[in-house]
Chains A and B, each alone.
Chain A
Amino acid sequence: GENVGLHLPTLSVQEGDNSIINCAYSNSASDYFIWYKQESGKGPQFIIDIRSNMDKRQGQRVTVLLNKTVKHLSLQIAATQPGDSAVYFCAENTDSSYKLIFGSGTRLLVRP
């Protein structure tokens, strides 16, 4: 069935560098996308979202890019910090169902 997936299971970056986490989705009907951060033993924490009528949205140190042509979503983290170490999930849903579907996640490791 249609699902959300990720290209890289683990990403290791140097503290201070920028991080880019990628996600591919296959449901063309999806119109809302969310990035979540999950630390060990905790529930997913909302980072940033984007709707399908946008191609870029910026938050504090984070930017989400959406390319509907190739069904690709990315999360950019500027000046990565040790506290950014976690697993990052992209999720998608449609306004009609509010059903959130998650990908398998990317682990971000920040080297001091």
Chain B
Amino acid sequence: EAEVAQSPRYKITEKSQAVAFWCDPISGHATLYWYRQILGQGPELLVQFQDESVVDDSQLPKDRFSAERLKGVDSTLKIQPAELGDSAMYLCASSSQSNEAFFGQGTRLTVV
């Protein structure tokens, strides 16, 4: 069964360091989402791609976060410098025209 792949599953980093997460969506899915989920809360959309273009990054803290999807397939989310408050689960999801979004297992980030 096709699934969204994310790596790493867990990441511990020191504050002020750079960290990057990778996502490989389901083949053929044009829409890719990055969400941040704080423990006990619902996922919060950070950035949404349609193919290689950003269609919504209104909630992305652009002073420290960046995201790219250069070839319209896999995507990278970067944080530099990381802050203590960035500790969360970072989820990637993809969807086709049907709107149903499939999620990966996420990357659990801990900033110390």
Q: Give A residues with C-beta under 8 Å from B.
A: 4, 32, 34, 36, 41-46, 49, 89, 93, 95, 97-105
Contact = CB atoms under 8 A, between A and B. Distances in A.
B25 interface: no
Contact of A101 (B45, B50, B100): B45
Contact of B55 (A34, A95, A97, A103): A97
Contact of B100 (A49, A95, A97): A49
Name the 10 nearest CB pairs between A and B, nearest first. A102-B42, A43-B103, A44-B103, A102-B43, A43-B106, A104-B42, A43-B105, A32-B99, A98-B31, A105-B42
A98 B95 contact: yes
Contact of B101 (A34, A42, A105): A34
Interface of B: 4, 31, 33, 35, 40-45, 48, 50, 55-56, 91, 93, 95, 99-106, 108
B42 A100 contact: no
Contacts of A32: 99
A41 B99 contact: no
B3 to A, nearest CB: 9
A9 B52 CA distance: 37
A41 B89 CA distance: 9
Given A98-B48, A99-B56, A102-B42, A46 B100 contact: yes
Given A98-B31, A105-B41, A44 B100 contact: no
Nearest to A48: B100
Nearest to A41: B108
B56 A42 contact: no
A32 B95 CA distance: 13
Contacts of A104: 41-42
A97 B101 CA distance: 13
A98 B101 CA distance: 9
